[in-house]
Amino acid sequence: MIGIGIIGAGNFSSRHIEAIEKIPSLSLKVICRRDAASLALLTDKYKLKGVTDYHQIINNPEIDAVLIATPHHLHTQIALEAAATGKHILLEKPMASTYSDCKAIYEACEKSGVKLMIGQVAQFSPSFIAAKKCIASGEIGEIFMTKATSISFWKHGDRKDWHLKKASGGGYLLTVAIHQLDALCALIPSEVSRVYATMTNVFHEDEVDDGGVILLDFKNGQKASLHYSGFKNGVNDICIDFNGDKGSLKIDNTKGAFLGKDQNYQLLPASFSKDWMNEALVQQWEEFSNAIIENREPAASGRQTLKVMEVVFAAFDSASKGDPISLH
């Protein structure tokens, strides 16, 4: 049985708690939240032990692994301390708020020999899994062009202040659109070689980005783009379109994955569920558990995600300088 501790039991934590309870190999021991009143609501509801200091989790010998789901700028310190005490880590996205911090977290986990998985839950959605199988089968042939779109309501009522500050790793790309960028990179069998980006905050008076376009060149010659925007009023559009030499493929978590041929789209089997988010969280925790038990690298690993984060911060650099950024 793998003992689990949650550090940062915020508004989304109920879903994590309920997912963990469905995995026989996991035992949730304790949760941490700095706000004692909010913590009490969770501990009473789920009959759990609660603490307000995360050190009581990472120094607890009954805890084998932790979920770190704090504000973005707090990820690094907690992850480094957790790795130093030998805890396996499921770290909510984004990995960290700077590339150097992402690299430090990855290297610390490698040095300590602990598993590091990033909470890119979209990789466990039915549409992503179906699309991955479709691409691997060769059904759409060689992919040459991909467009990811992330357009959604940004400043809703529960948007945290730290989501809107640069110092705390806020902004639409790091908070929302990173799901699409990560999924895009995970499904294209090559690494990014060059990044060009332009960003705006046209819809809101905040210091962080709420829109942008990122153009990607891959080492194998493939091209891709990410178009993202947060709005005050509109219609969500979150999808990825792949164009291959034998067909097209569209991913939309709210509708499924669709194979496109002869001017028609066909829904791929088992690619849609109305409850996809909760189901994906269970799959994510199961993968994390299995990686620990089987002593292997998990999906959405620290190694894989570090490459995605290099792209993210190259995009910020490109948008600031107005020039494309080449990656090594």
pLDDT in tens, 156-169: 555 667 677 777 77
N- to C-terminal Cα separation, the chain: 41
CA–CA gap between residue 209 and residue 222 (Å, rounded): 26
Ordered by where they begin, the domains of the chain are: 2-120 (3.40.50.720), 123-274+308-326 (3.30.360.10)
Contact between residue 140 and residue 249 where contact means Cβ atoms under 8 Å apart: yes
Mean pLDDT, range 196-202, rounded to an integer: 93
Helices (H) and strands (E) in the chain, counts: 10, 15
Summarize pLDDT for 98-125 with one digit per residue, the tens.
999 999 999 999 999 999 999 999 999 9
User: Binning pLDDT at 50, 70 and 90, where does residue 134 land?
Assistant: very high
Mean pLDDT, range 8-25, rounded to an integer: 95
Mean pLDDT, range 70-87, rounded to an integer: 97
237 phi and psi angles, rounded to 5 deg: -145, 100
CA–CA gap between residue 217 and residue 150 (Å, rounded): 19
Q: How much of the chain, in percent, has pLDDT values that exceed 90?
A: 88
In this prediction, residue 156 carries a pLDDT of 58
Mean pLDDT, range 256-280, rounded to an integer: 96
Summarize pLDDT for 40-71 with one digit per residue, the tens.
999 999 999 999 999 999 999 999 999 999 99
Q: Name 242's bridge partners.
A: 146, 249
If you average pLDDT over every residue of the chain, what do you get? 95
Mean pLDDT, range 253-273, rounded to an integer: 96
Both tokens of 160, joined, read 């945290």
Q: Residue 287: exposed, middle, or buried by beta-carbon count in 10 A (0-12, 13-18, 19+)?
A: middle
**SS3 label, residue 186:** helix
b (16+ CB within 10 A) / e for 204-240 = bebebbbbbbbbbbbeeebebbbbbbbbeeeeeebbb
CA–CA gap between residue 9 and residue 17 (Å, rounded): 9
Q: Is the pLDDT at 203 greater than 90, yes or no?
A: no
Both tokens of 18, joined, read 């309920």
User: Binning pLDDT at 50, 70 and 90, where does residue 135 land?
Assistant: very high
Within 13 Å, how many C-alpha atoms sit on residue 273's CB side?
Answer: 15
In this prediction, residue 59 carries a pLDDT of 98
CA–CA gap between residue 233 and residue 203 (Å, rounded): 10
In this prediction, residue 159 carries a pLDDT of 61
From the list 58, 65, 74, 77, the residue with the least C-alpha distance to 28 is 65
Within 13 Å, how many C-alpha atoms sit on residue 88's CB side?
Answer: 22
Cα separations (Å) of 107 from 110, 112, 116, 193?
Answer: 5, 9, 10, 22
